[in-house]
Amino acid sequence: MPDNDERPRGDVELRVPADGVYVSVVRTTTAGLAARLDFLIDDIEDLRIAVGEACAMVLPEADEGSQLVCSYHLAPGRLTVVVAVTAANPDGPEYDSFAWQVLSTLATHAEADASNGRYAVTLTMESGILGADS
């Protein structure tokens, strides 16, 4: 079957215990998906770092025994990642924190939401390959 780059790509969801030891699994999964979307090597590494920082932001707020849920929304040249935990009383994002500064610098777009018993960080990365043909 010929490869058709215009076809829609499926979404992926990863659930792991809300524990820092699983951040490497999240980072590796993120890198693998970005590679599948033909991201440049530098973009993949930036995305790995940004996702690691997102995890560092949400994990301290996680309810005991909860899961870290990473939702990946794939599109040609674009990957959006939502990193979330259940959190009864999340403090919300600290926009002046080192983690937020790194994340918002590396990602094309980043936002955080601490409401309804959930703390989530959403980041979008567009591959530099989009601008390579211009």
Both tokens assigned to 11: 């979404």
Q: What is the mean pLDDT of residues 39-66?
A: 95
Domain topology for 12-131: Heat Shock Protein 90 (3.30.565)
Dihedrals phi, psi of 100, to nearest 5 degrees: -65, -40
pLDDT of residue 121: 96
pTM, 2 dp: 0.85
**Rounded CA separation 29/48 (Å):** 9
**pLDDT computed for residue 67 by the predictor:** 97
Tens of pLDDT along 79-125? 999 999 999 988 878 899 888 999 999 999 999 999 889 999 999 99
